[in-house]
A and B are shown apart, each in its own frame.
Chain A
Amino acid sequence: MKRLLLSLLVITAMTTPALAGHTDADRPIRFGLTAVLVKGNLRFLDQWASYLSRKLGHPVEFVRRRSYREVTDMLDSGSLDFAWICGFPYIQKRQPEFMKLLLVPVYKGKPLYRSLIIVNRDSSYKTFDDLKGKVFAFSDPESNSGFLYPQSVLADKGVTKDSFFRQAFFTFSHAETVEAVAEQVADGGAVDSYIWEYMKTFQPDIVNKTRVIQRSPLFGFPPLVSRLGVDNKIVERMQRTLTGMKDDPEGRKFLAGLKLDAFGEFSPSLFDSISKMAERVRKAQPWMAEKKRLSGFPDK
């Protein structure tokens, strides 16, 4: 009898927080971040989170994960409500779909960015072809600018990364890709133009050791998405708060910290060019279709 009572107590203790999580209005809104943002500066994120919490009247919590995969999986499982991901994970077809476009950051007046192929400043490489047989750094296997674009370049040449490069590795962060190239661990790398520019301002000593040998066409900027299951009121409030930042001095301060102009509402068709590119790569490299099942590194 005693034992039963004890078990009951234990079960209650274990289930209570979960139940409370669903019912409590104060459950924080969890916002997933990835390597889209330059890592570090936790204080900035804390301040931004408390700003958002104040504006929303609801606690907001930023959750950082190393890879896009982890963030999208968390979004899928419901442990995240919002996320700032990349255009490539966004356009992938999911069954069932669990995310929808929330907002797109406006960078230099447009919701656009590109992929840059960078090499070490002191190297002799001038074109992508010069990197044949060299070491190449990708950022995230689900990154548009850090992986899909260079994959498309390789596909257009009729080669694969493994046949073209002597060695290739993932840094899971644009910033670290820049570092890898600056340190000459990699001969070349593919990075997000927004991150590269951002680092040029805040970490010029690293960025100045690299130079761009190729620029991609413009793509839709890595978007902010919301989980489909999140209460519409919250989604709307979040949308309002984020778009309103540009009209608010404190909000502008955070935007300036992110080197962004604003968060704006745009049509999902902004990402069509990425979809087309993904399709091209998939045709050239059929295993790309299986990407969803892969957890980080494509099979060799």
Chain B
Amino acid sequence: MIKRLSPRSWSLTTKFALTITAVVAGVAFTIGAVIVAQDSRQFYEELGANAVILARSVAVTSAKPVLRNDSWSLFKSLKKMTSGDILGGFKGAQIDTAMILAPNGTILAHMRPAEHPLGQLYKESMDEAGQTLLGRALATRKPVVLAGGNGNIGFLEGVAPIFSDEKFLGVVRVRLSTYEIFQKTLRSALIVLGLTFGMVLLGSLLGVLISRRITRPLTAMTEGLEAVSRGEFSTIAPIPVIDDDELGKLATAFNKMAAEMAEKKMLEEQIAVRDKLVALGRITAGVAHEVNNPLGGLLNCINTLKNHPEDPKIIERYLPLLDKGLHRIKDIVGSLLVELRVEDATEISDPSCLEELKGLIEVEIDGRDVNLIWDNCLADNVCFNGPRVQQIVHNLMKNSVDELPEGGTVSFCSFQDGTSMIFEVNDDGPGIPAEHRNHIFDPFFTTKPNGTGLGLWIVYRLVESMHGVISVESKVGHGTQFRITLPTMELDA
């Protein structure tokens, strides 16, 4: 599970799509954020400018009413400013408050007279910051923009002084709420987020498409390679070559390689079939030759016996020959049958079955001066195909015993090495001459006068049938070692 979550285990399609999505989202978001920030700043600047324009528009007409103490006209000019006529051009600018103050801070007019009655000192309803703002507003002698409030309830204040003949009569303060800007910015931000989300969707879709386009040949190649590793050449569909880009070239190369491998495999199979036929031919020829040899003699014997049915001398002389020849044929056929029988046997045994063999070998040695060392070290819980292993070990031991001179030593040892079982047969006999080493496993190859030449061939066939490995080390005059390595069998199998 953890491995699945790790990015290293993600498929290329996912990685491509995610990367493209991340890039698109990043770009979209950055551009959006910059636009929103700039928009917002521009809105603020415009709002500030509008606040000053409004304040000045009132200030310009206020000098006379202030001098005449005409509070009603002053109020009406504030009122008119807040009506749609003047504000019409400034969409989204909401007048928070507006007032005209005398130089000492007395209210000459206020947009909300109920809260800020005429003739009283203007008191900022807020706090110290408001008082500071009031101080700055009264101190200014030219139109300025002041900022106040905080967050989404902030405002920009346009302040314009009222002059008459260079005498300072008071100030006009017009506050425009920045709430609208805040809302606008929020809306823009939401739109940007929405767009980013849309871009992400589009980007991931694009990413999936592009990565599919890129990884489809790769996936096909992977499947092809997996099939090759399983040895299934026939299932490889040639990878479609769409473009002449790197992937296209790779696909072409892969297709070429797959075709060559398929051809090679086919050739190998053909060779194997030919080899089989050759081997079969050799066996057949061997059987024919081995059987034919005694048959000629036997037929002669039979002819002679036919011609001299009453001659006891002839019978006495030829019957043993007939017997010998027929036994020879029986041995050959018997050996072939033994091999077939054992090849079919699938009895699962433990190492104790090898102890029976020990007895058989002792019988073979019987009377000769040959040392036998028996060292079966396999644990009891190890198991293998009993009849086959018995046949292998028996054949090898018998060969060694046959070859050994008086006073020689033959040893058997078996042990486990990792996941393999090792069976070794050693002797200190004459060894195998170099020119024979390549043929010892050939059928009907023998150096013994009465040998069938099938013993080692059978061993070889049995080891192969159990997916094992047989190796021979031999030094003329020093001895020979056969080593068989078999994979350990799974009990459940």
B70–A170 contact, CB under 8 A?
A: yes
CB of A160 within 8 Å of the partner chain: no
Total A-B residue contacts, Cβ distance less than 8 Å: 40
In the assembled complex, which residues on chain B have CB atoms less than 8 Å from the CB atom of A166? Answer: 118-119
- A165 CB to nearest chain B CB (Å): 9
Give the shortest distance, in Å, between A141 (CB) and chain B (any CB). 12
Closest chain-A Cβ to B66's Cβ sits at a distance in Å of: 12
Q: How far is the CA of A137 from the CA of B68 in the complex (A)?
A: 14
> B70, A167: Cβ atoms under 8 Å?
no
B13 → A minimal CB distance (Å): 70
CA gap between A120 and B386 in the complex, in Å: 120
Binary contact track A170-190/B, C-beta < 8 Å → 1, others 0: 110000100010011111000
Cβ of B69 within 8 Å of any chain A Cβ, yes or no, is: yes
**Any chain B CB within 8 A of the CB of A135?**
yes
Q: Is there contact, CB below 8 Å, between A167 and B72?
A: no
Contact A185 B70 (CB under 8 A): no
Check A135 against B119 for contact (C-beta < 8 Å): yes
Q: Give the size range of A's interface with the partner.
A: 10 to 19
Contact A135 B118, CB 8 Å, known A183-B113, A184-B113, A185-B113: yes
Q: Is A297 interfacial (CB-CB < 8 Å)?
A: yes
Q: Is B217 an interface residue (CB 8 A)?
A: no
A180 contacts which of B69, B75, B117, B119 (Cβ < 8 Å)?
A: B75
Residues of chain A lying within 8 A (CB to CB) of residue B113: 183-185
Asked whether any CB of chain B lies closer than 8 Å to the CB of A169, the reply is yes
Could you tell me the dominant secondary structure of chain A's interface residues?
A: loop
Q: Which residues of A contact B70 (CB under 8 A)?
A: 169-170
Q: Which residues of A are found within 8 Å of B75, using beta-carbon distances?
A: 180, 183, 185
The answer to whether B69 and A169 touch across the interface, beta carbons within 8 angstroms, is: yes
A55 CB, min distance to chain B CBs, angstroms: 37
Least distance between A168 CB and chain B CB atoms (Å):
9
B46-104 residues with Cβ-Cβ distance < 8 A to A are 68-72, 75-76, 79
List residues of chain B with CB within 8 A of the CB of A184: 113-114, 117
User: How distant is the Cα of A297 from the Cα of B65 in the complex, in angstroms?
Assistant: 12
User: Pick the contact of B72 from A137, A296, A297 — CB < 8 Å?
Assistant: A137
Evaluate whether A167 and B119 lie within 8 angstroms (CB atoms) in the complex, with A137-B72, A183-B75, A297-B68 already known.
yes
B114 contacts A169, CB within 8 Å? no
Name A180's closest neighbour in chain B (CB-CB): B72
B71 touches A185 (CB 8 A): yes
A240 to chain B, nearest CB (A): 40
The residue in chain B whose Cβ has the minimal distance to the Cβ of A184 is B114
Question: For A170, what are the chain B residues with a Cβ–Cβ distance below 8 Å?
Answer: 70, 72
Contacts of A135 in B (CB 8 A): 71, 117-119
How far apart sit A137 and B486, CA to CA, in the bound complex (Å)?
Answer: 121
**Residues in A5-20 with C-beta less than 8 Å from chain B:** none
Q: Report Cα–Cα, A103/B114, bound state, in Å.
A: 42
Report chain B residues within 8 Å CB of A297: 68-69
Nearest opposing residue in chain A for B110, CB measure: A185
Cα distance, A183 to B118, chains bound together (Å): 12
Complexed CA–CA distance, A169 and B72 (Å):
7
B109: chain A residues at CB < 8 Å are 185
What residue in chain A is nearest B107 (Cβ atoms)? A167
Say which residue of A171, A176, A185 sits within 8 Å of B118 (CB atoms).
Answer: A185
Please report the C-alpha to C-alpha distance between residue A187 and residue B117 in the assembled complex, in whole angstroms.
9
Are the C-beta atoms of A169 and B71 separated by less than 8 Å? yes
- A120 to chain B: closest residue by CB: B114
Say how far A13's CB is from chain B's closest CB, in angstroms. Answer: 35
Q: State in angstroms the CA–CA spacing of A137 and B71 once bound together.
A: 10
Enumerate chain B residues within 8 angstroms of A176, measured Cβ to Cβ: 72, 76
Please, which residue of chain B has its CB at the minimum distance from the CB of A134?
B117
In the assembled complex, the Cα of A142 lies from the Cα of B418 at a distance in Å of: 127
Complex CA–CA separation, A180 to B70 (angstroms): 12
Residues of the B chain whose Cβ atoms lie less than 8 Å from the Cβ of A296: 68
The chain A residue sitting closest to B119, CB to CB, is: A167
Please give, as numbers and ranges, the residues of chain A lying within 8 Å of B72 by CB-CB distance. 137, 169-171, 176, 180, 185-186
Interface centre among A166, A169, A186, A296 (most CB of B within 10 A): A169
A170 to B114 Cα, complex, angstroms: 19
Q: Name which residue of chain A comes closest to B106, CB basis.
A: A167
Cα of A180 to Cα of B68 in the assembled complex, Å: 17
Q: How far is the CA of A132 from the CA of B32 in the complex (A)?
A: 61
Could you tell me the distance between the alpha carbons of A50 and B76 in the complex, rounded to whole angstroms?
33
Q: How far is the CA of A33 from the CA of B72 in the complex (A)?
A: 21
Chain A neighbourhood of B76, CB < 8 A? 176
| Among B72, B76, B109: residue with most chain A CB under 10 A | B72
Residues 43-64 of chain A, each 1 if its beta carbon lies under 8 Å from chain B, else 0: 0000000000000000000000
CB of B174, distance to nearest CB on chain A (Å): 18
CA distance A186 to B110 in the complex (A): 12
B353-377 vs A: 1/0 string, CB under 8 Å? Answer: 0000000000000000000000000
Compute how far the CA of A185 lies from the CA of B107 in the bound complex, rounded to whole angstroms: 11
B276 to chain A, nearest CB (A): 114
Residues of chain A within 8 A (CB-CB) of B68 are 296-297
Contacts of B119 in A (CB 8 A): 135, 166-167
Question: Can you list, as one digit per residue, whether each of B96-132 has a CB less than 8 Å from chain A (1) or not (0)?
Answer: 0000000000000100011001110000000000000
Within 8 A of B (CB), among A151-173: 166-167, 169-171
Q: How far is the CA of A187 from the CA of B120 in the complex (A)?
A: 13
Q: Which residues in window 95-131 of A have CB below 8 A to B?
A: none
Bound-state CA distance A187–B118 (Å) is 10
Nearest 9 CB-CB pairings of A with B: A184-B114, A167-B119, A185-B113, A169-B71, A171-B72, A184-B113, A135-B118, A185-B75, A166-B119
Q: A135-B119, A169-B72, A180-B72 are in contact. List 6 more A-B contacts (CB 8 A).
A: A169-B71, A170-B70, A180-B75, A183-B75, A185-B75, A297-B69
- Can you name 18 A-B residue pairings with CB atoms under 8 Å? A135-B118, A167-B69, A167-B118, A169-B69, A169-B71, A170-B70, A170-B72, A176-B72, A176-B76, A183-B113, A184-B113, A184-B114, A185-B71, A185-B72, A185-B109, A185-B118, A296-B68, A297-B68
